[in-house]
Amino acid sequence: MSEINALLHAGLLVSDLARVKTFYESVLGLSLYPNRPDLPYPGVWYDLGGGQQLHLMQLPDPDAGSTRPEHGGRDRHIALAVRNMAALKSRLDAAGIPYTASKSGRAALFCRDPDANTLEFVETP
């Protein structure tokens, strides 16, 4: 049995911190984690609750220029729980952010952030 029992954070590479902050804060409504240490590169951390975080790091992307699959579910991604999928869809629609439904038939959707990082959203109670 594995001793691993939680995902503490996920880290994503971004190219323009101001642009992605607008997406993650204004569109998705995430809250900044205030205690990010002084690191040698720009970035922000978001508090996802339950001790979980999302770290955005403005660093060179080793995959820049690579072709991404059209559907985010067939690409590297992180899955985030949402309380109200309809509200999320409304926010994405209002911001002009395209998304696709899960191809598995699950109640989930996929979108990409401004740097083409894939996010999956699953509605949870």
Q: Reply yes or no on whether the pLDDT at 4 is more than 90.
A: no
CA distances (Å), 52 to each of 7, 17, 44, in order?
7, 20, 14
Q: Reply yes or no on whether the pLDDT at 35 is more than 80.
A: yes
Assign domain 9-123 to its CATH superfamily.
Answer: 2,3-Dihydroxybiphenyl 1,2-Dioxygenase, domain 1 (3.10.180.10)
pLDDT in tens, 48-61: 999 999 999 999 98
Please name the residues in contact with 83: beta carbons below 8 A apart, sequence gap of 6 or more: 123, 124, 125
pLDDT in tens, 61-99: 888 888 888 888 889 999 999 999 999 999 999 999 999
Q: Are 46 and 78 in contact (CB under 8 A)?
A: no
Say what the pLDDT of residue 1 is.
66
Residue ranges per domain, the chain?
A: 9-123
Task: Give dist(CA 104, CA 54) in Å, integer.
Answer: 25
Report pTM. 0.91
Q: Are 73 and 100 in contact (CB under 8 A)?
A: yes
